[in-house]
Amino acid sequence: MWGMIATWRMAVEGITKGAQMLKNGGDAGDAIESAIREVEDFPYYKSVGYGGLPNEEMEVEMDAAFMDGNTLDIGAVAAIRDFANPVSIARRLSHEKVNSLLVAEGAEKFAHKEGFERKNMLTDRAKAHYRKRIKEMSAQAALQAASQKLKPYSGHDTVGMACLDMTGKMTAATSTSGLFMKKKGRVGDSPISGSGFYADSKKGAASATGLGEDLMKGCISYEIVRLMGEGMHPQEACETAVSRLDAELRERRGEAGDLSLIAMNPKGEWGVATNIEGFSFAVVTESQEPAVYLVTRQENGRCTYEKASDEWMENYMKTRMAPIEE
C-alpha cells in the first residue's frame, strides 16, 4: 500500500506527481519533497514559496520542515529568505545529527554553502497584494482602533503532507510563507516538530495548517500520531485531537484560531478534521485516484467531506489567478 494526503486544493498537482513516484516503488521522502516543491514553485499560491505574501517589511520569510518516520530524523528552516525550495533545505538538514533546525541568516548561510538555488521569492503580484492591504489598513485605521477586527494576519495556508511508500516508510513535510504582514522573524507551527508535523512509520504521520500560535498550544500533529499508535483510525484521531484543542482554547482563552489537520496511518487509511468552514484537502492512494475534497464540520466535531465539483475547481483557479485591483 502507498498513499499521500495533503492540506488544501493547491497540493493536488504535487501529490499527483508524487503518486507516480510511489506507484513505481519510489521513496516516501523523495515523493513528499517533490510534491511540496511543486506547490512552492507555483507563483499563484500566495501562502507558500515563490509568490508567497510578505511580512510587514515586504520580505518573504519562509518556514519548512521534513521528517523521516523510519529514523525520526527531523530537519527544518524558519524565516529563511531568497531560496527557491525551503522543503529541500529542510530535508537536507534532517541528515544532520545536530544543527538540524536553522533560522534566518543561519539557514541562509547553510543553504548557500550546500548549493541550493537562490531566488528572489517576492513577486510583483505579491507586492500588489501588499500595497492593497496597506491601503485597506490605512482606510480603516479608525475601525481597527475601535474594534481590532481588521486583521493583517488573514490568510495562512500551509501546505502540509503525510506520505506512505510501498516499504512502509512514512514521512511528513510542510512549507509556508506564513501569515501575511507578520512581524519580521515570526515563526509559526510549520517548522516545529509535533505541532506542524510529525511522522512515525510504526504509527502514522500528520500535518497541520491554520493559526500557528494556536496549533502550537496543543502539539496537535504529535497527538494525532500518538492516538493512531493507540489504534485509532486516522479520521477519529484527527477529530478527537482537533475537538479537544478547540474546546480547550475556547474554555481557557474564549476563542480558538483556525485548526485543520490531515493524517495517514501505515495501512494507508487517512483522516481529516477542522474547526473552520472552507477547508479542502487532496488525497491519493493505491486504490484511489488523486482528488480534492471539501470538509464540513458538524456541531459535534465530526467532519464529513465530499469531492470538489468541476465548477468549484475551476472557480478556485480563476480566483487565484485573477488580476489584483489595487
Residue 53 makes CB contacts below 8 A (sequence gap 6+) with: 46, 47, 60, 126, 129, 130, 155, 177, 180, 181
Strand order across the beta sheet in which 159-164 lies: 101-103, 74-80, 62-68, 170-176, 159-164, 3-7, 280-285, 288-297, 303-307
Residue 99 grid coordinates: 544543527
3-class state of residue 143 by DSSP = helix
Residue 223 grid coordinates: 497527538
Strand partners, 169: none
Question: Which residue has cell 502514522?
Answer: 204
| Burial label, 183 (beta-carbon count in 10 A; 0-12, 13-18, 19+) | exposed
Helices (H), the chain: 12-23, 28-40, 86-93, 104-113, 124-139, 141-147, 212-215, 220-229, 234-253, 310-321
Concerning whether 296 is annotated as a catalytic residue, the answer is no
Q: How many C-beta neighbours within 10 Å does residue 119 have?
A: 14
Question: Which residue has cell 519510489?
Answer: 26
- Tell me 10's DSSP state: G
Residue 60 grid coordinates: 518573504
Active-site choice (7, 123, 158, 174)? 158
The closest alpha carbon to 221, from 76, 17, 83, belongs to 76
- Tell me 158's DSSP state: -
With beta carbons less than 8 A apart as the criterion, state whether 85 and 50 touch. Answer: no
Mind telling me the catalytic residues? 158
